[in-house]
Structure 1
Amino acid sequence: LNYIKNRNSVLQQPKNFLLINLALTDLGLILTNTSLHSIASFNKNWPFGQQGCSFYGFCGGVCGLTSIATMAAIALTRLAVVIDPFSSLRLTERFALKCIICSWIYGLIWMIPPLFGWNRFVLEGFGTTCTFDYISKDFWNRLYIIIIVIGGFLIPLIIIVVSYTIILHKLSKRSHHLIDQNVYKKSFPIHLEQQNGYYFISNSPNYETYRNRTKTFFESNETTRMTQIIRLTEARATRTALLVLFIYCTAWGPYAFMTILSQTGFEHYVNMYTTAVLGLFTKTAACINPLVYALSSSGFRRYICIYSNFFYKCYLRSYPISSPTYDFNRRNLTITITARPTASVWSQQ
């Protein structure tokens, strides 16, 4: 996403800065956590000591919580655009950078206390990853767990759910209003008598009949086309909202639920296998999140398709494929094998 943004000046707009920040946070999560996790997995233990464990947990927590805050900020900016369509024009680089700085500060706030004694970073799973201590049940540790679950997960979730619910409600209400206005008020009149192609009809004695029938035909087609566009926009917005909520809840919901279980007397359900699987969910979401948000943006979606098509053509040119075809001879029941032209030949034609 950063490569596409830097190569195309059209995408270098303040409204896309949050998408780039989301990609950077998820990239940081992959670089700092996945690399150390891979080394520890091949080593079959944690070779970096307590300092490496603190570094792993701190970087993973900051990048993860900053990603969550960025998702909530994207939901709020989209809500502002739907409520006030001209707000996107007033979105400046300074305001976008302030949102990005606030999201990083939001992530840092929750991960600094374990570095100074309020909670701590410990090994989890098979002893190849680290996170904050959600097993200990002393008062201060429980207080930290409650605060981080509420502030780091529930509040952003409520913001995302409420924002996209209002967006879908506003789009549905606005679309019904436009459809009713188009049908009953006929806001798209077509005066065919002004077109040269229909000038011969105006000299006909049945001019009014032809005019009314043709006008009704074109107006009904225009109404149908506009209705289809509005419905398509609603479906796309609904699909994006549900997909964002699904990825958010799938990535971070089980982890938050696991911390609550460990603090409410059900820690026997929390074992090395569940923690390893839940950590895999968060890392998988880090790979999918930026792509989902980028595909929901028309600008990024268009350039992603362009570059994907370009790399696919380069692959075909580099690796020509030839496959046999079979020619059946009905008289002697023999099969002749011939080769098709390669993909590079087809591309040259």
Structure 2
Amino acid sequence: MLVCSALTLSTSLMRFQFMLDRYHTIGVDAELTTWNLKKHLLTPPNILVLNLSISDMFMAMKSPIFIVNSLWYGPVLGEIGCQIYGFVGGLTGTTSIMSMAILAGNRYRVISKPFDPDRKSTKIQSMVQILFIWLYALCFASLPLFGISRYVPEGYLTSCSFEYLSDNMKDRIFILIFFIGAWCVPFSLISFSYINIVSVIRRSDFKVSENVDDNIYRKKTEMKITKTIFILIGLWMIAWTPYAIVALLGISGNKEYVTPFSSMLPGVFCKLSACANPFLYALSHPGMKKEIVNIISNCCLSSSAETIHLDFIKGKTNCSSSESNSSSPSKEKADFTQDRTNKNANEIHPIKNSRIS
């Protein structure tokens, strides 16, 4: 009974993961295609968003292995495959976390210092930030490959992650440091930045205008920004807090609360974040939405023009065929009339015809 229940839960998670992959593919494809066709959108802030998309894309590339492991009921690629799976997960997960944190910090700097000429990031600064993000993530993700902790199968043995159920003190210290560096630090930066953004916007709206419509518009804008910020913070917490809770339960000795199903859920929530990031950080941008609408409109117009052109050629061919077909009966009628005339002439002049013959 327990085995059947475990297989059912594993299959359900596999299907849900497959569904999330489809939405993630749609979002990332739309985002990357737009940036490839409209390179003027790659401003320094958007380079960080592109880095987030690339990280999420590599994170999603693990899904086929997860699905195969679910069908195989265990790690198909063995220990080496488990190490690679865990390393890619740790690297891309930490990169995504830090990318969102630095994006929040950059937004706060731009909004809090509107008259500072150096408030906006340059391309070089964005590239340095991206380099720092990947090195920061690589530092944590590579340590288990060199004996500091390790990557092991988790849950229903369909995925691999850090060893957070070990009684070894060195493994526990590593998980605790990783929790501080990959959850506490970015969460503090994200919360500080977005909460202060709301505070700056509210302070700037203290100057009440005499125009009632302006006041209503400001209030609606403030509410919209506040709602967006709470969505960003809430989604980040929903995506990455389950992993932190499970890891802390493991290293604190409360292993009885870490079941195979509960240890599999954090990975699903992380994938949920990867699916939502393209829509929240890239496709919600006004310039990006405008360019996507233009691309779709141009594609539709090109398709319509091609269809009209083909219909015109087809109609012209049909007209030519009709003309040739209509000319054939006329020719046959003329030949028939000529034969009839000759026959009548022979009947009228029999003597002349006999002399000729």
Q: TM-score range by the shorter chain?
A: 0.7 to 0.9
CA distance in 2, matches of 1:292, 1:176: 29
Alignment match of 1:240 (pick from 223, 228, 235):
228
| Partner secondary structure for residue 46 of structure 1 | coil
Go from structure 1 to structure 2 and tell me whether the alpha carbon gap of 1:308 and 1:167 turns closer, same or farther (over 3 Å shift): farther
Residue aligning to 1:58: 87
For residues 203-231 of structure 1, the C-alpha deviation after alignment (integer angstroms, 9 at most, x for no partner) is xxxxxxxxxxxxxxxxxxxx122213312
Residue aligning to 1:123: 153
Q: Which range moved further: 279-288 or 79-88? A: 79-88
Go from structure 1 to structure 2 and tell me whether the alpha carbon gap of 1:97 and 1:255 turns closer, same or farther (over 3 Å shift): same
CA distance in 1, matches of 2:276, 2:299: 20
| Normalised TM-score (structure 1) | 0.73
Alignment match of 1:136 (pick from 166, 183, 199):
166
CA distance in 2, matches of 1:256, 1:308: 41
Amino acid at match of 1:54: Q
The answer to whether the aligner puts 1:67 opposite 2:96 as a matched pair is yes
Residue aligning to 1:23: 53
CA distance in 2, matches of 1:257, 1:285: 17
Displacement of 1:90 in angstroms is: 4.2
Preserved contact between residue 80 and residue 87 of structure 1 (Cα < 8 Å) = no
Displacement of 1:87 in angstroms is: 5.0
Go from structure 1 to structure 2 and tell me whether the alpha carbon gap of 1:68 and 1:51 turns closer, same or farther (over 3 Å shift): same
Go from structure 1 to structure 2 and tell me whether the alpha carbon gap of 1:36 and 1:238 turns closer, same or farther (over 3 Å shift): same
Unaligned 5+ segments in structure 1 are 184-222, 317-349
| Normalised TM-score (structure 2) | 0.72
Alignment match of 2:41 (pick from 4, 11, 15):
11
Q: Size of the alignment, in residue pairs?
A: 274
Displacement of 1:123 in angstroms is: 0.2
Displacement of 1:20 in angstroms is: 0.5
Go from structure 1 to structure 2 and tell me whether the alpha carbon gap of 1:149 and 1:30 turns closer, same or farther (over 3 Å shift): same
Report which of the two has the higher share of helix.
Answer: 2
CA distance in 2, matches of 1:296, 1:164: 17
Q: CA RMSD in A?
A: 2.2
Q: Report % sequence identity.
A: 30
Residue aligning to 2:242: 254
CA distance in 1, matches of 2:86, 2:60: 13
Alignment match of 1:103 (pick from 122, 125, 133):
133
| Partner secondary structure for residue 119 of structure 1 | coil
Go from structure 1 to structure 2 and tell me whether the alpha carbon gap of 1:148 and 1:30 turns closer, same or farther (over 3 Å shift): same
Displacement of 1:310 in angstroms is: 7.1
For residues 143-189 of structure 1, the C-alpha deviation after alignment (integer angstroms, 9 at most, x for no partner) is 00110001111110010001001000000000122x2xx33xxxxxx
CA distance in 2, matches of 1:315, 1:137: 63
Residue aligning to 2:282: 294
Displacement of 1:304 in angstroms is: 3.9
CA distance in 1, matches of 2:158, 2:302: 39
Alignment match of 1:173 (pick from 174, 198, 203):
203
Go from structure 1 to structure 2 and tell me whether the alpha carbon gap of 1:56 and 1:26 turns closer, same or farther (over 3 Å shift): same
Q: Which range moved further: 291-300 or 148-157? A: 291-300
CA distance in 2, matches of 1:297, 1:248: 19
Q: Which range moved further: 246-255 or 273-282? A: 273-282
Displacement of 1:22 in angstroms is: 0.6
CA distance in 2, matches of 1:260, 1:313: 56
Displacement of 1:282 in angstroms is: 0.9
CA distance in 1, matches of 2:154, 2:90: 14
Residue aligning to 2:338: none
Residue aligning to 1:215: none
CA distance in 1, matches of 2:66, 2:183: 24
Indicate the structure (1 or 2) with the bigger Cα radius of gyration: 2
Residue aligning to 1:150: 180
Displacement of 1:12 in angstroms is: 1.9
The answer to whether the aligner puts 1:264 opposite 2:293 as a matched pair is no
Go from structure 1 to structure 2 and tell me whether the alpha carbon gap of 1:114 and 1:293 turns closer, same or farther (over 3 Å shift): same
Go from structure 1 to structure 2 and tell me whether the alpha carbon gap of 1:308 and 1:57 turns closer, same or farther (over 3 Å shift): farther
Unaligned 5+ segments in structure 2 are 1-30, 305-357
| Partner secondary structure for residue 19 of structure 1 | helix
Amino acid at match of 1:269: Y
